[in-house]
Structure 1
Amino acid sequence: MDRHIAAQLATTDAVRAWDEQRAAGELTNVAYANRLLGVARDEEAGWLAIVDYRPQGDRESRMKLTYMAAYLIATRGTLNAKEMNSALEAPRDRPGGVSVS
């Protein structure tokens, strides 16, 4: 989660700086688009690391679900099938699934 948050913050800072450079004519649209693609890939890699992470117990499972829910609310996004399966996956130390207590 820290990696994903760091990537989002870096993206925000970079885009602000690039917007200023583009407005001043110091950055072409093509270079701007290429840079955006790079930071979007970093952000996606962080998100996929969260999706692929298998929680070690109920606490980590709740943290993962909370983070994913907050991210989806903030971005107004939805989960694809792989992400949904990951969210429903049981923690490693409990074969029966995530408890909701």
Structure 2
Amino acid sequence: METAVSLAELIDRHIAAQLATAEAVRAWDERRATGEVTNVTYANRLLGVARDEEAGWLAIVDYRPRGDRESRLKLTYMAAYLIATRGTLNANEVNSILVTPRDRPGGAPVS
């Protein structure tokens, strides 16, 4: 039986994927300067880590908080991510933060 993954675990995974992406870019820059890597090799490696980062972000977007604390944590993390990346939210991402525990079947009221 698989246990549910917490929001904190999803955030940790997303941060790890972001760090892996940054490391892939740094490593490629070093290797490219010495002629050790081709653009195709780099593109394939970067695609893999970018997919992991995107999957981590989407897992956070799709996560349904289990109460006020997690709702605030999700909103805070998403806001920090957007500020850091200078990104914007699409409609699905906006809707994910507007859903409150009260909006979910069996959810606790928001205080």
**1:65-92 Cα distance to aligned partner (Å, 9 max, x none):** 0000000011111100110000111125
The normalised TM-score by structure 2 is: 0.81
- Partners of 2:39 and 2:28 in 1: how far apart? 10
**Count of aligned residue pairs for this structure pair:** 97
1:78 corresponds to 2:88: yes
Aligned pairs for 1:21-40 (under 5 A) are: 21-40=31-50
Which residue of 2 is the match for residue 54 of structure 1? Answer: 64
Moved over 3 A (4+): none
Deviation of 1:14 (Å): 2.0
Tell me the percent identity: 82
- Partners of 1:66 and 1:38 in 2: how far apart? 27
Amino acid corresponding to residue 80 of structure 2 in structure 1: A
The normalised TM-score by structure 1 is: 0.89
Amino acid corresponding to residue 85 of structure 1 in structure 2: N
SS of the equivalent of 2:64 reads coil
**1:7-42 Cα distance to aligned partner (Å, 9 max, x none):** 011111222112111111110011111111111101
- Partners of 2:50 and 2:24 in 1: how far apart? 11
